Every structure is written in C-alpha cells, then in structure tokens.
Chains A and B, each alone.
Chain A
C-alpha cells in the first residue's frame, strides 16, 4: 500500500463547478497535510496546509481533514481553466521539527471552459 494515495485522474469539471480532490494516507501518526499545485513543466506551489480535523478555507480553496478516516481533500469552488494542473497531496508525520514529507503521485485536474 502506498503511503499517500491519490487518483491520478484526469478529473474533468466544467468551469464554475466545484472540483473535489481526494487523498488517503496510511500512517496514522501523520500530523501535517499539504496541497501543492503543479502546472505542467513547473515546480510545485504550496496552496494549502492543514493540521487539525475539519475544514480550512482560503479563498476558493477548502482543505478538509479527517484523521480518523485518514483522509484529506481539497475543494476548489468556482473552478477556472487556470486551475487546470496536477494537485499533489503531501503528508508529514509530525507537526514540527525535521521530518520527511511524503508526496502522492498527484491528481490531474482539467477545468473545461
């Protein structure tokens, strides 16, 4: 079982719709969770971090964490064509200190105009 699992997609949504990206992780002690956006040929860009159960909202993005289910998701409201990218889920076992972050393989999102 992979440590961090994501559906590779592509996930296609129409412009203006809500895109829902999901990620599961295997290590129960994981404490820190991140979503990165990576455009083709570019490096990843940190867009959201979440540490506690529940929802965290930032603009059109909402991260949702459920540690009991070992599940983290990213919702993108009012999806735009510029949101088309690969979204990487990343998990860190601790909330502080040096630890290696584990990345999922990413979900490719396509927003159709």
Chain B
C-alpha cells in the first residue's frame, strides 16, 4: 500500500515554457501532499505543502507565482513550473501523507526536469 506516482518521470523543455508535473496517490487518499526539489548531491528542499481544497503553503524563498500548486482532489496534486529557466532544472519529488493520524510520508518516484 501507500503508492505515490508521478508523471512525467523525465521532461526536457525550452526556457520560457511551462511544465506541469502530476502527483497521484494510487491506493489511499492523501490529505496533505508535499513538493520537494533536490539538486545533485544536496538534500531535499521542501518547496510547499498543500492540503486538498485549500491554497498551498510555500516555504520561504519559493516563488508561489512561479511554482503553481493545485491540490484539487484527495488523490491528485499538480506542480506547474511557469516560465522555466535553466536554473529550475532539478529533481522534483512529491510526497503524500495518508491521513491526519499518519505522519510518515510516502514519496513519488520523482520528475527530472531539464530546461534548455
């Protein structure tokens, strides 16, 4: 149980375009989903937290107008990187928390974004 999927697994886009990444909880309802970014050889950096049906809470230094997060249902959250630039190239990982009483997070397989 507790499977989280992400799509796409890898995407290459041109500078200035937008990219949407989907995160789905396959066998449970995720009350809370998290979006992380990880640069090579660095730790996970939490970008934002989203609860179903409400606005995402962004971490300090993360531009909410650039990284649009939508958590429209208990099984789907999306991250849209708008007007992507080469410095946005990174490994984007979502995770989900199964319920209010569950504090462990289950991670999706990640999306490797390359902006050329």
Contact = CB atoms under 8 A, between A and B. Distances in A.
B105 interface: yes
Which of A32, A44, A45, A97 has the largest count of B CB atoms less than 10 A from its CB? Answer: A44
Interface string B17-41: 0000000000000011000000000
B103 A95 contact: yes
Given A42-B109, A43-B108, A43-B110, A101 B43 contact: no
A106 B107 contact: no
B103 A103 contact: no
A92 B44 contact: no
A92 B110 contact: no
Tier of interface size on chain A: 20 to 34
Among A36, A43, A46, chain B packs the most CB atoms within 10 A around the CB of: A43
A34 B107 contact: no
Interface stretch (B67-75, B82-90, B93-101): B93-101
Interface in A42-56: 42-46, 49
Given A34-B104, A94-B103, A96-B101, A105 B51 contact: no
A90 B32 CA distance: 17
Chain A's interface: helix, strand, loop or mixed, by majority? Answer: loop
Given A43-B93, A88-B43, A106-B43, A96 B109 contact: no
B49 A101 contact: no
Contact of B103 (A32, A42, A43, A44): A32
Nearest to A92: B103
Interface in A20-57: 32, 34, 36, 41-46, 49
Given A88-B43, A98-B32, A105-B43, A43 B107 contact: yes
Contact of B100 (A34, A97, A100): A97
Interface of B: 31-32, 42-44, 46, 49, 51, 91, 93, 97, 100-101, 103-110
4 A-B pairs with least C-beta separation: A105-B43, A43-B110, A43-B107, A43-B93
7 contacts: A34-B105, A42-B109, A42-B110, A46-B107, A90-B105, A101-B103, A103-B43
